[in-house]
Structure 1
Amino acid sequence: MKRFAQKFALLSLVLGVSAGTMVGCGSETKESSATAEATEVAGTETTSEEVAPTGYGTSVIAIGDLNGAFHPFFYTTHYDDIINDAVNAALIGLDREGNFVPGVADFKVEEVTNDAGEAQTIYTFTLKDDIKFSDGEPMTSEDIIFSFLIQLDPTYDGIATMNTLAIAGLEEYTKGDATEIEGLKQIDDKTVQITLDGIDPAAMQKFGIAILPKHYYDAEFVKGDLSKIKEKIDAPMGAGEFIFENFENNVVSLKANPYYYEGAPKLEKLKFQVTDLANLFEAVRTEQVDISEPNASPEMVANVEEAGLHYELVDNLGYGYIGINAERVADLNVRKGLMHLMNRKPAIESYYGDIATIIERPMSRVSWAYPDDAEEYYGYDVAKAKEYFAAAGYADVDGKLMKDGEQLRIEVGIPAGGIMDHPSAPILTQMKSDMEAMGAVLEIADTDGAVFFDVLEQKGWDMWVAAWSSTVDPDMFQVYHSTGPSNHYCIYDDELDKLIVDARLTNDVEIRTGLYQDALDIIMDEAVEMPVYQRKNMYIFNPNMISIDSLPKDMSPFYNFYNELENLEMAQ
């Protein structure tokens, strides 16, 4: 069972076309819904060295640049975290549809009222039988508590956001002298109970953490000291499919874990080879690696098919969009006029062909909250745009669209490498032409990702082009609430705020879906974000090296070949 909480801890801004280049976020989760029993008996004294080798052959997977931070709570890049996922096992995970399923533990969720009449949510996690770490030591509830305490420590400085949950007694622990957390209890050797004050639908995705062996990382762990844990950041150990061996010459070497609870891997060894992103197709075609994840495009599909390689296309949990800053472009009519100048379909079809689709609301189609009956809100219509600009008070003065002595002028940022290589680039070039024809100006600033992001964080763009990588739970607070830390749109709407908060006060998916769909309509009416496209991720495999029959069937945005690394086999 592969964990997923860090993968989707935050809505993360994608600065280029490829989500795979993001620091701290990733493409898809790697969870498994299988419940196969472990092959060893809990409590035995054997070690992994005493168990006969398992599996056959060595497979090689292409991977991006690695920083060598191989710790599930302290990694710094998505690629490092791929290694973490292969070495560790998760408390809970996701199935193909994005539903929460047991990992190393079964779970139960109860909404209760405490003695003070206040709502609380109790999460009970019970370890499955015979779960072992890769050294043969049994996993216990003490290891679960230990793993939570790392992320909840007052000195924790990793990427996880577990400390934002309203766990009972957490504030006294992080800001006071308490040495235990009231809402984090070890019931017995296999059971842990976590109590949250109130209701938080996003809590479950944060609970999908890797469970680490306390005896290996810090048997004498005390609050406020994570030094011993960090010392092993380049020498991880867990209960995942594979055991870490080394990271040398841009290659991570792993070997099969005979104690893996869902069955020992079919491979004897697994290697991850750092590979230039521009060479991902050629590396598979020339058998330098067996598997890679190139950017999906019509040209790439054609190349892969011509080479006789196997490929899978799955929807990306995220979407591309064009944003508008409502403070810098304060007139709603101007924003609506700009929306009517965005000709999306030709741009996306020319870039992605039929492997991307236009979306009509600012949310990934993958999400359960996306309205299936969503219709176009702002169609491409130059005449309509002129009407809105006129309603905003702009008029033609000697061939220029003017108001109060100022020409209508918009600056838009796009991280397209200085060569306008971006799926939404044609939208901007047509907007520029249309605006020039009516006497307005669109200034296109094509910058690198670092510059683009710096300006965006400072709210320096009138308009910008980017993409979001979404969370499993479609919580909208971070991006659209008045106090949201990533509210780059500068949208401050009391009704929208209430809808977002209300959706956080219930676990009822049907109720939350209705609230989110109302919220999406408000965002569209405020004309601060034009949803553009839903793209796909691509995985390619060399059938001369990998048994295609060993790949999981029906891959999805939540479930791909990483979910079943233990089943991966070499071609015969």
Structure 2
Amino acid sequence: MKKFAKKFLVLSVVSGLAASTLVGCSQDKPQTDNGTSQAAGEKESSGDTQKESKYKTVVVASLEMNGVFSPFFATTAPDNDIVSMVHGALIKTDRNAQPEADLADYKIEQVEAEDGSVSETIYTFTLKDGVTFSDGTPVTADDIIFSYKVLADPAYDGPSTFSTLPVVGMEEYNKGDATEISGIEKVDDKTVKITLKGIDPSAIWKLGGIEVAPKSYYGVDDAGKEYAKGDMSVPKSRNAAPMGAGAYKFGSFENNVVTLNANENYYGGAPATPTIKYQVTAESNKLEGLKLEEFDISDPSSSPDMVADVEAAGFEYELIDNLGYGYIGMNAERIPDKNVRKGLMHLMNRRPAIETYYGDLATVIERPMSTVSWAYPQDATEYYGFDPAKALEYFKAAGYEQVEKNGKVSLEKDGVQLRVEVGIPGGGTMEHPTAPVLTQMKTEMEKMGAVLEIADTDGTVFFDRLETGDWDMWVAAWQATVDPDMYQTYHSQGPSNHYNVQNEELDKLIVEARQTNDIEVRKDCYSKALDIIMDEAVEMPVYQRKNMYVFNQEIVDMESLPENMTPYYTYFAEVETFRLK
């Protein structure tokens, strides 16, 4: 059978990435509901063509969802999948990670100072004709400005770093008493102008990449309470029931299934596929569920065995570089001694684990950034090799000594044994590519007289504890964004700085990289910043993997999928024309 993708095909693009959305590479708890049956045999007029589809519903496998489907507050990849289907953004990303008009056309102008430097950058977004929310009401400049103000609110506690943009008047709004952001102006009902001080290379994405939220819905709750600066309760009241200008409307989230219905008011035309369901399942069930027709599209973790199994099952598939990477993190507040952290780093034997799990479908990486990014230093070498003897040297440099207790050796400082807890979202089965790294660490630490406690949890517990800073160490992955801005995760004030790394030189480099469009200067800043992160020993990069997308071609019309898919442009990139057989 002709495959949709050649075996081991890798599509790479040279473009910018940054850590933005945290996702666990986990095997979550399996769902128990099977309410995802196809409407087999039913005829349906499909979208803007004459062709008819006999299937009305496509079911997509998904890992566990938190149920926060908000354009402001969603943090996990499964939740963000729903957000992106329901909401529309001003701009979108093309195959090569370049900005492209979506709901709005845009213009960028630079204002030069007398010395030739850029004193201001002006962004103008003009909504296209006929753009409405799914309830039929027009998207307006007021909705755009409302969305900006929520993200800039001093009480905002979501993942966005919008408030760090050098927008004129941002500081007065975010940290002062101003009720408006003076640099954000409504030109007319369809046009918004934003003025930035100087330059910010990430601004086009942070300004244009927002999902526009209807003020009439997210600005008023069911009791009639209106959003006011300093209070996130009204926008958060809509977390479980999103509404936007995307290709699909939110239907429900019941029994581990999210149901989305085609938005007949979508500006690009009503989608060809009437219903999309996202079925929560375990990682271990992602192929078996396809075989059992529980779902029609899946993304099982890629490995040589999985490729062979998919081919044997007769499904078509695509392999694409993952927009992110796997890592092991450490909380510098809970493990404050850098020597202890460095010792732990020398106990992480990454390569055997990754080669066993992924074969040649993943590579071990040496800096905490996806290798797909133009900012990843191509000359990066190993920083902490696996070396238990070196690890013990670092532990002793931190003041720990090996003493004999009850006939056993114990690694102690001031009478307290070295003990570290690490969280891994393996769903209780340790089915995770990084699990062997931890089990070997545990063995090596026991030999030294130390303790590594491995807490294998489901995704919800894992992320709850991560957000409260309750892990000494943890295993997860970063999903990346287009621009390699590191502020969110590594700056001392970054909202997702789970490492609690505090380094003035690192902060300085991160800010410096945000103040120029010179890619060579930015590369240099990021290379130095990545070295500092490694020296701080708060994050061990583990692997860059490939995503595998598998399709039941008896249900999915393979001809309707985008050609030349990339990490930025996958199978739902042209969702309005996606169709079923």
Whole-angstrom distance in 2 between the partners of 1:387 and 1:230:
49
Whole-angstrom distance in 2 between the partners of 1:486 and 1:159:
7
Matched-pair contact (CA < 8 Å) for 1:292–1:541: yes
**Which of 48, 57, 60 matches 2:58?**
60
Shift, 1:273, TM fit: 4.6
Correspondence list, 1:93-104, <5 A: 93-104=92-103
**Which of 244, 250, 259 matches 1:252?**
259
The corresponding residue for 1:422 is 432
The corresponding residue for 1:496 is 506
Structure 1 window deviating more from structure 2 (142-151 vs 340-349): it is 142-151
Deviations 1:127-154 (A, max 9, x none): 3455455566665545434544554567
Whole-angstrom distance in 2 between the partners of 1:204 and 1:193:
12
Shift, 1:94, TM fit: 1.2
Deviations 1:76-103 (A, max 9, x none): 8654543443343210121223222221
Whole-angstrom distance in 2 between the partners of 1:247 and 1:407:
48
Asked if 1:82 corresponds to 2:81, the answer is yes
Whole-angstrom distance in 2 between the partners of 1:459 and 1:67:
18
The corresponding residue for 1:24 is none
Shift, 1:424, TM fit: 1.9
Asked if 1:196 corresponds to 2:196, the answer is yes
| Aligned-partner SS, 2:562 | coil
Q: Aligned AA for 1:97?
A: N
Deviations 1:414-442 (A, max 9, x none): 324444333222223323333444x3323
The corresponding residue for 1:411 is 420
Q: Aligned AA for 2:506?
A: L
The count of residues paired between Structure 1 and Structure 2 equals 532
The corresponding residue for 2:123 is 123
The corresponding residue for 2:228 is 224
Asked if 1:521 corresponds to 2:527, the answer is no
Whole-angstrom distance in 2 between the partners of 1:87 and 1:317:
21
Correspondence list, 1:127-166, <5 A: 127-133=127-133, 139-149=139-149, 151-152=151-152, 160-166=160-166
Whole-angstrom distance in 2 between the partners of 1:128 and 1:102:
9
Shift, 1:560, TM fit: 1.0
Whole-angstrom distance in 2 between the partners of 1:522 and 1:109:
34
The corresponding residue for 1:276 is 281
| Aligned-partner SS, 2:439 | helix
Whole-angstrom distance in 1 between the partners of 2:389 and 2:154:
58
Distance 1:56 1:185, change over 3 A: farther
Whole-angstrom distance in 2 between the partners of 1:504 and 1:88:
28
Correspondence list, 1:7-46, <5 A: 11-17=20-26
Whole-angstrom distance in 2 between the partners of 1:215 and 1:386:
60
Whole-angstrom distance in 2 between the partners of 1:462 and 1:156:
27
Asked if 1:211 corresponds to 2:212, the answer is yes
The corresponding residue for 2:325 is 319
Whole-angstrom distance in 1 between the partners of 2:172 and 2:181:
8
Matched-pair contact (CA < 8 Å) for 1:93–1:101: yes
Q: Aligned AA for 1:294?
A: P
Q: Aligned AA for 2:529?
A: A
Matched-pair contact (CA < 8 Å) for 2:226–2:234: no
The corresponding residue for 2:556 is 546
Q: Aligned AA for 1:61?
A: V
Deviations 1:49-78 (A, max 9, x none): xx9998743231225466776653466865
| Aligned-partner SS, 2:574 | helix
Matched-pair contact (CA < 8 Å) for 1:245–1:255: no
Q: Aligned AA for 1:519?
A: A
Structure 1 window deviating more from structure 2 (492-501 vs 161-170): it is 161-170
The corresponding residue for 2:109 is 110
Distance 1:205 1:391, change over 3 A: same
Q: Aligned AA for 1:62?
A: V
Distance 1:265 1:461, change over 3 A: closer
Whole-angstrom distance in 2 between the partners of 1:467 and 1:80:
15
Shift, 1:243, TM fit: 4.8
Deviations 1:280-338 (A, max 9, x none): 33333233432233333444333322211112232332222233455665555554443
Shift, 1:194, TM fit: 0.8
Whole-angstrom distance in 1 between the partners of 2:521 and 2:356:
38
Structure 1 portions without partners, runs of 5+:
1-7, 22-50
Matched-pair contact (CA < 8 Å) for 2:110–2:118: no
Matched-pair contact (CA < 8 Å) for 2:421–2:473: yes
Whole-angstrom distance in 2 between the partners of 1:67 and 1:396:
44
The corresponding residue for 1:467 is 477
Whole-angstrom distance in 1 between the partners of 2:29 and 2:480:
13
**Which of 541, 561, 569 matches 2:571?**
561
Matched-pair contact (CA < 8 Å) for 1:281–1:292: yes
Whole-angstrom distance in 2 between the partners of 1:480 and 1:229:
27
**Which of 342, 353, 356 matches 1:347?**
353
The corresponding residue for 1:292 is 298
Structure 2 length normalisation: TM-score? 0.76
Shift, 1:521, TM fit: 1.4
Whole-angstrom distance in 2 between the partners of 1:343 and 1:386:
15
Matched-pair contact (CA < 8 Å) for 1:63–1:79: no
Structure 1 length normalisation: TM-score? 0.77
Deviations 1:157-196 (A, max 9, x none): 7665544544333455567776643212122454320123
Structure 1 window deviating more from structure 2 (470-479 vs 225-234): it is 225-234
Shift, 1:545, TM fit: 0.9
**Which of 439, 444, 454 matches 1:445?**
454
Shift, 1:123, TM fit: 1.2
Asked if 1:356 corresponds to 2:362, the answer is yes
Whole-angstrom distance in 2 between the partners of 1:121 and 1:19:
45
Q: Aligned AA for 1:513?
A: K
Matched-pair contact (CA < 8 Å) for 2:411–2:450: no
Whole-angstrom distance in 1 between the partners of 2:49 and 2:189:
30
Whole-angstrom distance in 2 between the partners of 1:262 and 1:543:
25
Distance 1:330 1:229, change over 3 A: closer
Identity, % of aligned positions: 52
Distance 1:320 1:52, change over 3 A: closer
| Aligned-partner SS, 1:534 | strand
Shift, 1:346, TM fit: 0.6
Q: Aligned AA for 1:181?
A: I
